[in-house]
Structure 1
Amino acid sequence: MFSKKQLFAKGMMDISPHMLSVIPFGIICGAIGVELGFSPYLVYAMSIIIFGGASQIVFLQVLSGGASSLVAITSVGIINSRHLLYGAVLSEYLDKLSFIKKLLISYFVVDQGFSESNKFFKKNKNEQHLHYHLIGTGGTMWVCWQIATLSGIILGSFVPEELGLKFTIPLTFIAIVVQDLKKIDHLIVMITCGLSSLLFFDAPFKSYIIISPVIALIVASLILRFKK
């Protein structure tokens, strides 16, 4: 049986390798926010409130493109909807916790932390206080992400305008999706989303940002049914 401290330390150790990609991504997020003309205080506050790399970049890009606050917030909500699935999976191991504790812990659940903690939970189902491992992974991610974002904000404040960092936005998303280009069903969903965004580009309030992923999700669900 692991103690609470051991579980927390184990979570920190398991998530550590992911920092090699998370820290540069956080620096880019902070730098891009300043590059797009947002206040450093706003960029850092967003990093604390949203706490999600892709979501933060989308939020900044959508707002800087002239979309309404409602569209920006909805876009972030759609991107982060995967956390509903994370919660459904983790609920099996956290069912004894109070609602308040679950709510607080959910703030620290991110992609990499969920992946590592879920693997650990499956191998150690009989352990008590498993949530300390999740706090270890999420807490480590949070601290590193905030430091990286702050570093990016400082960097972005000193980068000359002619050496702008806006080009890193498409590069960042290419890096995220490039691994899925090898899978034909994922490729179909990506193409559907891209074509839908072009088709509905002139929709009011720049709502094509919401319409296109919804259409892509419908196509994805149809593909899953067909494969079954």
Structure 2
Amino acid sequence: MNAFRQVVRSPHFRLGMTDMTGLALGIGAWGLVTGVAMVKAGMGVGMAIVLSLTVFAGSAQLAVLPLMAANAPLWVIWLTATCVNLRFVIFSDLWRTYFAHLPRWHRVTIGYLSGDVIFVGFLQRFPKPEPQAEQVPYFWGAATVLWLAWQVASIVGIVAANEIPLEWGLGFAGVLALLGILMAMLTDRPSWLATVTAGTAAIAAYALPLKLNILLAVVVAVAVGLAAESLEQARKQAHAHSSPGGTP
């Protein structure tokens, strides 16, 4: 309890909340769309709320919902969700650098709360990969804002799904929210290449059944992003070795 109070009272807890407040609007719009989509896809209100609280993965939820509605084979649904969430393997490897010293339950909770927005915001605040005392309060402050924004909006969407007409264009609003979040995350060449590749592949393969163009786009984007990241690191290392102060 004392540790909890120290985290909440830390100025970095409030800093994390402040950093995420603006982005929480986009997360809320995304959550509202996802909540409505779950019910419109045929999921019961109770099950949809349980899914929202336990999964906390909007990209995966939106990717598999059309497949579930189309009665796609279970292996397609699982493979799609796995591919969409492959980026969390990279995220968790970097989180380990900052949080490996924490108890297991704490690391598991951080894994549950981890997402694209908090990952980018955290690295902007703490670019140096080494543990610091203020990192845990900052993460919890940021995670609290984003989790509440998602859950409140998602549950509102679930409960009010049948009262919200499709003419409101929530799907388009959700796309705009995602685009806003995405643009804030495109900070280097590999991320731009992966994004452009994903969009191109999804459009080119649009005619595939069972929304498999989404799965294809994810696989191609991950491959391109990893390859571009490897080439970028190799180029930086070569440049460092060739510079006057570098190691021969």
TM-score, normalising length from structure 1?
0.77
In the TM superposition, what whole-angstrom CA distance separates every residue of 1:114-147 from its partner, at most 9, and x where no partner exists? 2222222337967325222212211221122111
Q: Which residue of 2 aligns with 1:43?
A: 48
Alignment of 1:178-197 (within 5 A): 179=183, 186-196=195-205
Q: Which residue of 2 aligns with 1:128?
A: 133
Which of the residues 144, 154, 160 maps onto 1:155?
160
Please tell me whether the aligned partners of residues 203 and 213 of structure 2 are also in contact (alpha carbons under 8 angstroms).
no
Deviant stretches of 4+, over 6 Å = none
Which piece of structure 1 moves more, 116-125 or 146-155?
116-125
Q: 1:14 to 1:107 in 2, by over 3 A?
A: same
Q: 1:90 to 1:175 in 2, by over 3 A?
A: same
CA RMSD of aligned residues (A): 3.2
**How much has 1:64 moved relative to structure 2?**
0.6
Q: Which residue of 2 aligns with 1:116?
A: 121
In the TM superposition, what whole-angstrom CA distance separates every residue of 1:27-67 from its partner, at most 9, and x where no partner exists? 11111222222211122111112202222211222201221
The reply on whether 1:69 has 2:78 as its aligned counterpart is: no
Alignment of 1:72-221 (within 5 A): 72-122=77-127, 127-128=132-133, 130-159=135-164, 163-164=165-166, 168-169=170-171, 172-173=174-175, 176=178, 179=183, 186-196=195-205, 198=207, 201=208, 209-221=214-226
Distance 1:158 1:99 in 2: 42
Please tell me whether the aligned partners of residues 59 and 76 of structure 1 are also in contact (alpha carbons under 8 angstroms).
yes
**How much has 1:26 moved relative to structure 2?**
1.2
Distance 2:128 2:167 in 1: 43
Which piece of structure 1 moves more, 28-37 or 65-74?
65-74
The alignment-based identity, stated in percent, is 18
Indicate the SS of the match to 2:25. helix
Please tell me whether the aligned partners of residues 60 and 85 of structure 2 are also in contact (alpha carbons under 8 angstroms).
yes
Unaligned runs of 5+ in 2: 1-5, 187-191, 236-248
Indicate the SS of the match to 1:122. coil
Q: Which residue of 1 aligns with 2:243?
A: none
Please tell me whether the aligned partners of residues 202 and 217 of structure 2 are also in contact (alpha carbons under 8 angstroms).
yes
Unaligned runs of 5+ in 1: none
Please tell me whether the aligned partners of residues 31 and 153 of structure 1 are also in contact (alpha carbons under 8 angstroms).
yes
Distance 1:115 1:218 in 2: 20
Q: 1:97 to 1:28 in 2, by over 3 A?
A: same
Q: 1:135 to 1:69 in 2, by over 3 A?
A: farther
